Structure 1
Amino acid sequence: MSTSRPPKALDRVLIVRLSALGDVVLSSGLIPALLSQWPAARITWLVEAPAAPLLKHNPRLHEVIVLPTAHWKSLWREGKRLQALREIWRFRASLRAARFDLVIDPQGLLKSGLMAWFTGAPRRVNLKPRESSQYLMHESVRPALPAAGELPIVAHEYRDLAVYLGADSSSYRMDLAVGELALQQARSRLKDAKVGPKYAVLAAFTTRPQKHWIESHWAGLADGLIAQGLTPLLLGGPADLTAAQRIAASHDGILNLVGQFKLDETVAVINDAALLVGVDTGLTHMAIALNIPSVALFGSTTPYLRGPDARTQVLYERLDCSPCNRKPTCNGRYDCMRQLDVARVLRAAAEVQQASKT
């Protein structure tokens, strides 16, 4: 990966990262990195609706544009295809009218590349291009491999993109803002649920079962966290309700508030936490971005093996079969996650909390 020379001035910059929640958080470090190079630039972010609440409170963003993908798909399914095409064309025209000087696509997919191409910007740069999206760009960036013996840091590929654009590596800091109203609403709901002042968020859920920690371990972890003076608090979305009920039933000290908060309120709950223990999921990345002491449990995936500082520990055991990503070969045993026993997680939890005090 080489470093490009930044232009002397930029007025309008567009970041196209449409999804998913964790990746929007991880790539948010582009905001301060870009502003370190171009302090007067107006940065706009194009995102799909589910992740938009992660960005809407950020005062360093000039604008957040929500891509109406679901609406277009609905029109298409209803047979209103001409209307859908007309709306897509109008959306394209609005992007062109914004006259962006630079468009950055850290997602690297065809759909994100198409949106970048729609802008007609004179410079379009993407990251790790897939699905032939490089042909819609002027430049494509592939992250550098870690040096021998170096553990890949959280969000390293997005950091490399920022460096390519001319920013200093140290300027890359994930940038997740907490909304004042969301914070008030979250605190009110926590008070109603009789959550004490020191709590640990358990981020136990994600989209793939091979990324989950062994479910029975959460009760043992709760015992240890309570001994450390923390209230274990389950967070997640509506899709996680069934699994959350099982975990909460395994230990009467676990408070189950899964599905009780909007996304920006969830950010606020994490912001007030003393600790987060979670799997490879968006909530874990949110805690790291907010500088909350965090223990990340990785197994089938291993994008990062260290956090920005000692307040984050990534626990991961490399087995012959790992990382398997979407193709586990262990017949549902998830051996990599079984390697992460409760005692080890509790030690890491105590260490990251201590690191936050020094």
Structure 2
Amino acid sequence: MKTLIIGPSWVGDMMMSQSLYRTLKAENPAVEIDVMAPAWCRPLLARMPEVSKALPMPLGHGALAIGERRQLGKQLRQEQYQQAIVLPNSFKSALVPFFARIPIRTGWRGEMRYGLLNDLRVLNKAAFPLMVQRYVALAYSKQRISCAEDIPQPILWPQLHVSQTEIDTTTAEFSLNNNRPVIGFCPGAEFGPAKRWPHYHYATLANSLIQQGFQIVLFGSEKDREAGEEIVHALPAELQPHCHNLAGSTKLDQAVILIAACHAIVSNDSGLMHIAAALNRPLVALYGPSSPDFTPPLTHDAKVIRLITGYHKVRKGDAQQGYHQSLIDIQPEQVLAELQLLLTSKESR
């Protein structure tokens, strides 16, 4: 079967969607999977062996552009897809498979997509509490899967692979000191500082780790660079050379390789957190208003730290500099203790 996936538009969601691709391949090894997603996704999709082709979605995240989507669909008719699976819940995301006249068009009901999808699923959120469960359920018929407990276990979690040659080349390119093991920090997060652990806590943790013989690498996009600089400059001057702010300086694929080179990762709830999980890096994941009950890191080598319960739709924190109090209250000493336990467990294997 030749299958088109309309993929998500966020890093974390794209990583979790790999569980669907792995499940489709496990159920039918002959399936050919193409994924249509924003062009920036290509470095991730290229590391997913289940994906045959990454098709760029040229339209922006918020653009309806019905005419352009109709043209995209017409162009895809020659591919003769037998099924499309639409992962985003928006109306517009279901248009291309409809215009492509793909016979089976599967997805959750979302924004009133009757007719656009003809294999329509009605989501009971309580029955599928995790996003990854909602993705994987679409690999099966709706008669077979009515709740998360019906999904064959274990769910195939995302897995990215990086070679040692890639690690050696890329760490040399960024002049990382081979004499000090690397701990990666991912201090950014979408929607601003409300989902970020405070930079001064990251700096305190970096201080302790550098004094223990580690070097710190800060990952993120260009918009996270300022937060990285705040961490570096909060360190004593003599320790700053051991803290490298690469936010905005790496392409996505370079960041994936460098995260694979890390002995461990400390991260906010972010897309890079899900990449670290897929690379099986020991991971301390810090949550505030967003909830690990919906999008936890999918790895056995993670420790989630969160001091509140429930989901809080917060775009700006309630404390100084826009941080959320629940993240301010997570102390560096607690994070360091959990990180050391993860590293000790890794070394004992």
TM-score, normalised to structure 2, is 0.83
TM alignment of 1:104-143, pairs within 5 A: 104-127=85-108, 129-133=109-113, 135-137=115-117, 138-140=119-121, 142=123
Q: Which residue of 1 aligns with 2:281?
A: 292
Matched residue SS, 2:259: helix
What amino acid is the match of 2:261?
A: D
Q: Deviations over 1:87-135 (max 9, x none)?
A: 64442112222122221122222232223323322222224x4332355
Q: Which residue of 1 aligns with 2:246?
A: 257
Select the residue among 317, 324, 334 that pairs with 2:324.
Answer: 334
Q: Deviations over 1:197-231 (max 9, x none)?
A: 52011000012221011121011111232355421
For the 8 Å contact 1:55–1:176, the answer to whether it is kept is: no
Matched residue SS, 1:46: strand
What amino acid is the match of 2:188?
A: F
Q: Which residue of 1 aligns with 2:183?
A: 200
Select the residue among 269, 280, 292 that pairs with 1:280.
Answer: 269
* 1:175–1:97 CA distance, 2 compared to 1 (3 A): farther
CA–CA distance in structure 2, aligned partners of residues 108 and 182 of structure 1? 36
1:324 positional shift: 1.7
For the 8 Å contact 2:278–2:298, the answer to whether it is kept is: no
1:354 positional shift: 2.9
TM-score, normalised to structure 1, is 0.81
Matched residue SS, 1:285: helix
TM alignment of 1:56-205, pairs within 5 A: 56-69=46-59, 85=67, 88-127=69-108, 129-133=109-113, 135-137=115-117, 138-140=119-121, 142=123, 145=126, 155-162=132-139, 168-178=152-162, 183=167, 185-190=169-174, 192-194=175-177, 196=179, 198-205=181-188
Is residue 244 of structure 1 aligned with residue 228 of structure 2?
yes
What amino acid is the match of 1:338?
A: I
For the 8 Å contact 1:19–1:47, the answer to whether it is kept is: yes
TM alignment of 1:35-74, pairs within 5 A: 35-69=25-59
For the 8 Å contact 2:198–2:323, the answer to whether it is kept is: no
What amino acid is the match of 2:58?
A: P
1:16 positional shift: 1.0
The farther-off stretch of 224-233 and 276-285 is: 224-233
Structure 1: gaps of 5 or more residues: 1-10
For the 8 Å contact 2:316–2:323, the answer to whether it is kept is: no
RMSD: 3.1
For the 8 Å contact 1:21–1:282, the answer to whether it is kept is: yes
Select the residue among 291, 300, 312 that pairs with 1:302.
Answer: 291
Q: Which residue of 2 aligns with 1:4?
A: none
What amino acid is the match of 2:35?
A: W
Q: Deviations over 1:41-81 (max 9, x none)?
A: 111111111222211243321111001115997xx9xxxx9
Select the residue among 10, 13, 19 that pairs with 2:9.
Answer: 19
* 1:340–1:124 CA distance, 2 compared to 1 (3 A): same
What amino acid is the match of 1:110?
A: F
For the 8 Å contact 1:210–1:328, the answer to whether it is kept is: yes
* 1:225–1:22 CA distance, 2 compared to 1 (3 A): same
* 1:91–1:57 CA distance, 2 compared to 1 (3 A): same
Count of aligned pairs: 331
The farther-off stretch of 260-269 and 220-229 is: 220-229
Is residue 317 of structure 1 aligned with residue 301 of structure 2?
no
Q: Which residue of 1 aligns with 2:19?
A: 29
Is residue 348 of structure 1 aligned with residue 329 of structure 2?
no
Q: Deviations over 1:181-204 (max 9, x none)?
A: 8656523323x2435452011000
Is residue 220 of structure 1 aligned with residue 204 of structure 2?
yes
Q: Deviations over 1:111-169 (max 9, x none)?
A: 32223323322222224x4332355212225265379xxxx668343344446676623
Q: Which residue of 1 aligns with 2:219?
A: 235
Q: Which residue of 1 aligns with 2:148?
A: none
Matched residue SS, 1:292: coil
For the 8 Å contact 2:277–2:297, the answer to whether it is kept is: yes
